[in-house]
Structure 1
Amino acid sequence: MTDNSNWHGEERRQTPRKGDRLYRIVEILNICCWLVFLAALIVFHYARPELISGVQEYWGINGRDSWAQSLTLPLLMLLVFCLMLTSVVFVLRRKRNRRKRDFFGINLYFLLALVIIALLWITAQVSGSS
């Protein structure tokens, strides 16, 4: 056992998690990751091909049957940014979470899986329709 009587720093094991600056930064970045993903979902809604129903076809209402080229690149950029931001949060959580009672962070794993699947699927869809 080492003698820490000369050490005058902060004892992180005794400080509450909410008081830790790094923990607060990780929380804020985690929320930002989800907001960027939400923005990507909104862009996806407007970029995807429109569903042309039988009624629309019967009445002669035109719809777009391909991806909107002007929105495809911003959609991919949002997803890549979300992937990078999620990776940064993973690194910061790994640095911060050392206690047994620290949370696992399943929402980040879920977000990471969603973003990777979305990137692969959209890339396949856009390259397949070109």
Structure 2
Amino acid sequence: MSTKPLHHSEDRRKTPHGDTLFYKIMLGLNIAAWAGLVVVLILFHYARPEFITGVQQYWGVEGDNTWTMSYVDAMVVLLRICLVLSLISTVMRARRSRRKNDSFGINLIILTIIVATSLITLATTVS
């Protein structure tokens, strides 16, 4: 007769945190949020007004000096999604980090600051 218990009783504290499903979900959210920010930067390139140089003004070359609102709307939606993903990932990391050698997740804080600042800037400058 076996002396092993009927349920799996491996000590989860000895399992590397990179092997857990929780960590993989948290990492996936983090990567998705950063990828979303890259997409926002691409949208920003197409949404912003054209830069009209002095030479263009002198020659009378016309340029678009307004924001493309469809791109701006997409940027705002994507920035909000990035903000939610980064906040969820930050909360997950805070709940998971209990060991002294666990990382703090400064990249998520930087991402949250960048996204929040971008949302505020868009709300105050684009009309």
- TM norm structure 2: 0.88
Structure-2 change in CA distance of 1:56 and 1:10 (3 Å):
farther
Unaligned runs of 5+ residues in structure 1 are none
Structure-2 change in CA distance of 1:10 and 1:90 (3 Å):
farther
Shift of 1:11: 1.9
Unaligned runs of 5+ residues in structure 2 are none
Distance 2:55 2:9 in 1: 71
Distance 1:96 1:12 in 2: 13
Residue by residue, what CA displacement relative to the aligned partner does 1:71-104 show, whole Å, maximum 9, x if unpaired? 1110110111100111111121122211111101
- What pairs with 1:57-96 in structure 2 (closer than 5 Å)? 57-96=57-96
For the aligned residues, what is the CA RMSD? 1.8
Residue by residue, what CA displacement relative to the aligned partner does 1:9-44 show, whole Å, maximum 9, x if unpaired? 342211112211111111121111100000011101
The equivalent of 2:28 in structure 1 is: 28
Structure 2 SS opposite 1:87: helix
How many residues are matched?
Answer: 123
- TM norm structure 1: 0.86
Distance 1:15 1:42 in 2: 40
Q: Percent identity?
A: 43
